[in-house]
Amino acid sequence: MESQSKTTFPLRVLVDKEKRRVVAAEATMNFVDILFGFLALPMGTIVRLVEAEQGQHPAVIGCMNNLYNSVEKLGDEVFVNDVRKQMLIRPHNPCDSLCRKLKINVDDSEDVEFYVCISCNYYSTFPNEICTCGQPMIKRKMADHNPGNGVFLRGSPLFLIFDDLKIIPSTPGRSTKLFLQHGYKDLSHLLDINISVGFKEINSLLKYALTSKHPLTSLFLPMKSVEIKSVDPCLCHDQQQQVNT
C-alpha cells in the first residue's frame, strides 16, 4: 500500500467552462484497468471503503450502509460462527489475484489465502470454516498471483473516459460519435487541463461512481491544483478534424 500511495497517473481532462462540467478525460490503459477493477469489488468491501474515505459523514449508497452497519453491530451469537460474519463485512474479492497487479488497488483487504480441508481437499478463503465432512479447513495455501504486465486490458494505449464513465479507445472515429451525442460539435472552446491523480482521488472516484451522475465533474472540478493549458489541445484538434469531415 505504501508504494501505491506514491503512484500517480497523468490525465488530460476536457472541461466545458460554461456548463462547469467535465466532458471527458484521456487516460492510459493502466488507469482504466483500475476503474474496471471497481466492478470486481464485493458490495461489503465497497460500503466499507466509502465509509472509511468519508469518515464521520459517509456517502449514502442507497440502504446498503444501513445493511452493512446492522451486520457489523450484531453480536456474534446470532451468526452461525464468526467466520460467516466476516464473510459479510470483509468479503474476499473473487478477482483478488488479478487486482493485486493493478497499479493502484483500492481494496485494502488482506491477500486471499486458501484453507483446505485435510480430509477431502475442499477449500475456503476464510480460516476455520467447517467442511461438509465436518473437518475444519485449516491447511493454508497461498493464492498464485501470476505477476505479469496486463490485468484486464490489452492493446489500446489510450482511452477516453466520459463524465458518465462511458469508456472507449481514444480513436478519432469512435470518440467523435460520442462527443456529438453529448452535444459537442465544436470542441475548440473546451479547456484542456492536466491533472495528476493518485490513490486518494481514485478512492474518491469509487464513491462518486456510486453516488453521482457526473463522477468526473464531482471529482475534478473542486480540485485547485490543476494546470490549465491553452485551448486547442491535440485531442480537441484531432476530434475537430473528424467532425468537420
Backbone angles phi, psi at 206, to 5 degrees: -60, -45
Domain ranges of the chain: 2-37+157-244
- Given a cut of 80, is residue 241 above it in pLDDT? no
Summarised one tens digit per residue, pLDDT across range 166-202 is 999 888 767 777 777 777 777 777 899 999 999 999 9
- Beta-strand runs (E) in the chain: 9-16, 21-28, 113-117, 123-124, 137-142, 158-162, 167-169, 191-197, 227-228
In order of 20, 48, 151, 196, 221, the CA distances from 224 in angstroms are 14, 28, 32, 12, 8
Among 219, 8, 186, 212, smallest CA distance to 104 is for: 8
Give the H or E element holding residue 243: helix 234-244
- 15 or 157: which leads in pLDDT: 15
Instruction: Beginning with the edge strand found earlier in the chain, give each strand of the sheet holding 21-28 in spatial order.
Output: 167-169, 158-162, 21-28, 9-16, 191-197, 227-228
Specify the pLDDT at position 74: 96
Summarised one tens digit per residue, pLDDT across range 53-95 is 876 677 889 899 999 999 999 998 999 988 899 999 999 888 8
User: Stretch 5-22: mean pLDDT, rounded?
Assistant: 90
C-alpha cell of residue 190:
473546451
Q: Please state at what angle helix 64-73 crosses helix 82-89, rounded to 10 degrees.
A: 150
Summarised one tens digit per residue, pLDDT across range 85-141 is 999 999 988 888 788 889 999 988 777 677 788 778 777 777 778 888 887 877 666
